[in-house]
Amino acid sequence: MKYLGITLERPKIGVFDFTGCEGCQLQIANKEETLTDLFGLVEVVNFREISSERRNDYEVAFVEGSITTDNEVARLKKIRIQAKILVAMGACACLGGVNNLRSRFPLPDVVKEVYGGHPVDTGPVRKVTEVVPVDIELPGCPISKPEFEWVVRHLVLGIEPQFPKYPVCVECKQRLNSCVLDMGMMCLGPITRAGCNAVCPRNRFGCWGCRGPSDEANFKSLMEILGERGFSEEHISERINFFNAFSGLSQ
């Protein structure tokens, strides 16, 4: 394969799921009109959701989900050894995500509430970086397929992807969206990393912070503004802790 006269390699990729809903993998499989071009750039050797092929000679590993069991820790470490590049994909892999909500309660109580007396193998919720080194974090819940394809193009060209450092608010203003905060909705757009094209505010939903904090996020200022606008501490706490995205800022 050549691009601008340059011969490009098709890296072998594997896509792996851990504790999560597999919605990020579904995002990749969706939008069929771009699949042919996407899979023309890479060789898929291990991707349970779309193929029965199972090979372990992948060079790039995309990992979805948080890590919650000893078996998952061992499996992830094995993937890390094989992969030259490991991409944590989605809010659960990058932040702990929705799964982290259970960390508010004693684990035995959570297991009993969900599974009753049925024994399950589970443990504390960990993001991927708490277990192995990660080369690239692709945020979002779920991930954006155009952004996934953008990352793949960078990997093929050997260029390090540079994610936006500014907040979702900037993308909202660029699109001339009406401010959902001004409409009376809770929104974390002022402190959340952009790159989603403000998909939630654009559809009249306040941002939930699934992409993690933007650089130089003024967390304290937003909390003051939300308080002045009448949002209760309980409501604010529920929103900022939902994806475990601001744990370092909200202390």
Confidence of residue 8 (pLDDT cuts 50, 70, 90): confident
Q: Tell whether the model's pLDDT for residue 3 goes beyond 80.
A: no
β-pairing verdict for 43-47 and 85-89: unpaired
Asked whether the beta carbons of 68 and 125 are under 8 A apart, the reply is yes
Per-residue model confidence as pLDDT tens digits over 26-55:
999 987 889 999 989 999 999 999 999 899
Residue 94 to residue 141: CA distance in whole angstroms: 10
State the Rg of the chain over Cα.
19
pTM: 0.92
Per-residue model confidence as pLDDT tens digits over 182-239:
999 999 999 999 999 999 999 999 999 999 999 999 999 999 999 999 999 999 999 9
Asked whether the beta carbons of 17 and 64 are under 8 A apart, the reply is yes
* Nearest in space to 25 (alpha carbons), one of 64, 66, 79: 64
Helix (H) or strand (E) holding 199: helix 199-202
Helix (H) or strand (E) holding 107: helix 107-115
Cα angle vertex 200, ends 197, 201, to 5°? 85
Tell me the residue type at 34: T
Asked whether the beta carbons of 65 and 93 are under 8 A apart, the reply is yes
Residue 80 confidence (pLDDT): 98
Per-residue model confidence as pLDDT tens digits over 124-163:
999 999 999 999 999 999 999 999 999 999 999 899 999 9
129, 134, 139, 144: CA torsion to nearest 10: -140
Burial class (CB in 10 A: 0-12, 13-18, 19+), 250: middle
Residue 251 confidence (pLDDT): 56
Confidence of residue 6 (pLDDT cuts 50, 70, 90): low
Per-residue model confidence as pLDDT tens digits over 58-113:
999 999 999 999 999 999 999 999 999 999 999 999 999 999 999 989 999 999 99
